[in-house]
Amino acid sequence: MVADKKKRCRPDPNSNDETHHPFKSLLKPNPLILQTLDDLRSANASSYSSSKTITLADLAVGSTCREVSDLDLSSIPSKIELQMLKVIKSILDGNGFAFEVPSRAAANQLYVPELDRIMLKDKTSLRPYANVSTVQKVTITARLLQLIRQLCLKNIHVTKLEQRPG
């Protein structure tokens, strides 16, 4: 097989040759394209602002699922303190230090097509500190709860990239 030895060169961008830009005559002028994009963007924005956020209660999902909801800043430290009181009670009862976390097992997941989302059902699992396989996760969870509580009390907003171990 003999290779084609002709050099291929790029077309001259200044040439008006129809062979280089066969669809150029079909394009609309730039201002018209930009106006169409602006119209689409504003129509999309208005449909988002006028639409109500759908909740699991609105969908009447058959099994009980966990739904994440926003909390106001002042209630977050008390929620964290409540979790820590549960941990303290568990220790005092002789059950040790553990967190109850949502189970991520396949049997505890439900796909909700209206939200195009996989939801966790209400089953939980215990994450004990005394278990070698979960001790690191428990330690990280406790530290994150401590950091979140401090940030809420000081009214500081950070992203996960801003908190680096120092």
Q: For 18-61, write each residue's pLDDT tens digit.
A: 566 677 778 788 888 888 888 888 776 665 555 567 777 777 77
Residue 144, pLDDT score: 93
Q: How many residues does the chain have?
A: 166
pTM of the model: 0.57
Q: For 132-160, write each residue's pLDDT tens digit.
A: 999 999 999 999 999 999 999 999 888 87
Of all residues in the chain, the percent with pLDDT exceeding 90 is 30
**14 — pLDDT class (breaks 50, 70, 90):** low
Q: What type of residue is 74?
A: S
Task: Examine the pLDDT at 91 and tell me if it is beyond 80.
Answer: yes
Cβ atoms of residues 102 and 108 within 8 Å: yes
Task: Examine the pLDDT at 94 and tell me if it is beyond 80.
Answer: yes
CA 77 to each of CA 8, 83, 97, 154: distance values in angstroms, whole numbers, following the listed order: 68, 10, 20, 11
For 10-14, 58-62, 124-128, which range has the lowest pLDDT when averaged over its residues?
10-14
Domain range annotation of the chain:
58-154
